[in-house]
């Protein structure tokens, strides 16, 4: 029989991940805060749990994909949380992007109940989640990761076991440095091209043929040029992530000036009411005409 999966958090990322699990014929039980997110998955075969704890009681592996550390703590350790229903020997897989010390703290609390947790943040966005080509960086024990690989392959093309508990979240913080700082660089380049009277579309095409080529330039520059900031990668998430990076930098006594600059621009975007805008809206913060 296929491994019984639970999935909690049915947003932009969680929904396509569940769809891919169902396509692989895994029995999946879901829970989310919004009935409108649950209904389409129930219509294609997902069972629906009454609470995170109820999902855990029906599952051998429970996955979470929620917003931040506080949200993970709530769905795992809160009233009617995963811990209330998880059976000894089961696995919890957190795909959220949270602080490494938060991941370790939640894993330790579950360990007292003989439930193992791995932190497995993802990269690639909703397009990769739907295509089944996410990259996943995993922190946890090797036996747990080996058990999970066939399941994770339902929606990931690249799974790397980085190290012990919390290591996946450290890797995700590094990923976000490269992503968010790169995005700010793309915004600066497009703004400079425009102000210099040169077609930024042509500049973007030229840059994509050389060392400046990047996934963020390719994805975000067209949104910046068109000033189309309808939220796909909501800036509030990158804002949260870059501050996780800076918290880690302070804890280790290191200076990350490029990350600090990106955080300052994202701070200003939040202050201007842009939390739900696509992160490409950092361009609008720089463009002060």
pLDDT digits (tens, 9 = 90+) for 58-115: 999 999 999 999 999 999 999 999 999 999 999 999 999 999 999 999 999 999 999 9
Q: Return d(Cα 36, Cα 40) in angstroms, integer.
A: 7
CA distance 210 to 72: 41
The residue from 137, 165, 193 where one domain ends is 165
80 φ/ψ sector (left φ>0, alpha ψ -120 to 50, else beta): left
106 and 80 fall within a common domain: yes
CATH of the domain at 154: 3.40.50.720
**121 — pLDDT class (breaks 50, 70, 90):** very high
Residues 68 and 110 in one domain: yes
Q: How many whole angstroms from its chain centre is CA 198?
A: 35
Q: Which of these is catalytic: 23, 142, 172, 204?
A: 172
Predicted confidence at residue 89, as pLDDT, reads 97
Summarised one tens digit per residue, pLDDT across range 137-194 is 999 999 999 999 999 999 999 999 999 999 999 999 999 999 999 999 999 999 999 9
- The answer on pLDDT for 214 being more than 90 is yes
Integer Cα distance of 186 and 104 in angstroms:
34
CATH number at residue 185: 1.10.1040.10
Whole-number pLDDT of residue 248: 98
The predicted structure's pLDDT at residue 232: 81
The phi and psi torsions of 139 (rounded to 5 degrees) equal -115, 130
Q: What is the mean pLDDT of the chain?
A: 97
Closest CA to 191 of 52, 288, 105: 288
Q: How many domains is the chain partitioned into structurally?
A: 2
Burial of 249 (0-12, 13-18, 19+ CB in 10 A): middle
Question: Which domain does 229 fall in, by range?
Answer: 170-286
When pLDDT is cut at 50, 70 and 90, the band that residue 233 belongs to is confident
Can you give the pLDDT at residue 289?
A: 62
Task: Identify the sign of the CA torsion 174, 175, 178, 184.
Answer: negative
- Say which range, 32-36, 235-239, 260-264, has the weakest mean pLDDT: 32-36
Let me know whether 82 and 149 are in one domain: yes
Give Dmax (Cα) for the chain. Answer: 64
Active site residue 172: yes
Both 143 and 243 in one domain: the answer is no
């Amino acid at each position: 029989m296929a491994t019984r999966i639970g999935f909690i958090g049915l947003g932009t990322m969680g929904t396509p991940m569940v769809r891919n699990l169902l396509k692989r014929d895994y029995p999946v039980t879901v829970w989310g805060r919004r009935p409108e997110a649950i209904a389409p998955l129930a219509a294609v075969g997902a069972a629906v749990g009454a609470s995170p704890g109820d999902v855990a009681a029906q599952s051998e592996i429970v996955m979470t994909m929620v917003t931040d550390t506080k949200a993970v703590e709530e769905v795992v350790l809160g009233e009617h949380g995963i811990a209330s229903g998880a059976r000894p020997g089961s696995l919890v897989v957190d795909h959220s992007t949270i602080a490494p010390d938060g991941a370790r703290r939640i894993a330790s609390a579950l360990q007292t109940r003989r439930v193992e947790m791995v932190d497995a943040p993802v990269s690639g966005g909703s397009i990769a989640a739907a295509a089944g080509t996410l990259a996943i960086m995993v922190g946890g024990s090797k036996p747990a990761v080996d058990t999970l690989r066939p399941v994770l392959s339902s929606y990931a093309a690249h799974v790397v076991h980085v190290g012990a508990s919390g290591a996946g979240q450290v890797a995700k913080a590094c990923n976000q440095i490269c992503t968010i700082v790169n995005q700010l660089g793309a915004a600066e380049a497009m703004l400079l091209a425009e102000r210099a009277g040169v077609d930024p579309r042509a500049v973007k095409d030229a840059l994509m043929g050389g060392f400046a080529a990047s996934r963020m330039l390719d994805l975000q520059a067209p949104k910046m040029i068109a000033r189309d900031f309808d939220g796909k990668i909501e800036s509030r998430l990158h804002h949260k992530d870059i501050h996780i990076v800076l918290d880690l930098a302070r804890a280790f006594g290191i200076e990350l000036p490029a990350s600090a600059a990106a955080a300052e621009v994202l701070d200003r975007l939040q202050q201007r009411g842009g939390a739900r805008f696509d992160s490409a809206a950092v361009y609008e913060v720089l463009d002060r005409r």
